[in-house]
Amino acid sequence: MIKLIVGLGNPGAQYKQTRHNAGFAFLDYLAISAGCNWSVSTQFHGETANFLAKSEKLVLLKPMTFMNKSGQSVGNLLRFYKIKPEEMLVVHDELELSEGLVRLKRDGGHAGHNGLRDIIAHIDSRDFYRLRMGIGRPALGGNIADYVLSKPSQEAAALMESLCGRLARRVDLLLSGDVAAFNEYAASL
């Protein structure tokens, strides 16, 4: 069972609606739909919220250390609450999936994602769940950093918002850790 959901993104108004902040966007949607309140935690270098799912208390975390330094925040929280890596779900943007697609996976490398790379380095484990939120790739020859740090089209932003809503309604399936069942559901979205 998942005990911690981490959404990856960058703090600051200039990054708020960028592709790279897909993890923050999902956690914000989840918190709003459940009536959770965010609080700033200097101990965890981020914003946290308590989330109740089927009588189980979970912690939501948005690291405020910038994407490439997310591991410090995640590592501190895991150690404090004595949460094992395999009880954590990290939500992040994914270049290898088209806009509007999501996939759940457990374990694996960072695939060049600097937020995942830093988390793996800080917790010394790859054994955690990842909710990969598709943002697509830039046009051939386009700069990846510029692409992920830019805002998506109005249509793509609306698609992401709709996707967050549908995922939040089935958070139970996501939290069960049943990768096959979740991905079957996600394929129907």
- Show me where the domains of the chain are located: 4-187
Tell me the per-residue pLDDT of 22-71, one tens digit each, with 9 for 90 and over: 999 999 999 998 899 999 999 999 999 999 887 788 999 999 999 999 99
Positions marked catalytic: 20
pTM strictly above 0.75: yes
Comparing C-alpha atoms, which of 19, 121, 9 is closest to residue 67? 9
Tally the C-alpha atoms within 13 A of residue 19's C-alpha that lie toward its C-beta.
27
The predicted pLDDT at position 54 comes to 75
What does CATH list as the number for 4-187?
3.40.50.1470
Q: Pairing between strand 129-134 and 88-94?
A: parallel
Give CA–CA dist 108/170, Å, rounded. Answer: 24
Tell me the per-residue pLDDT of 137-150, one tens digit each, with 9 for 90 and over: 998 888 999 999 99
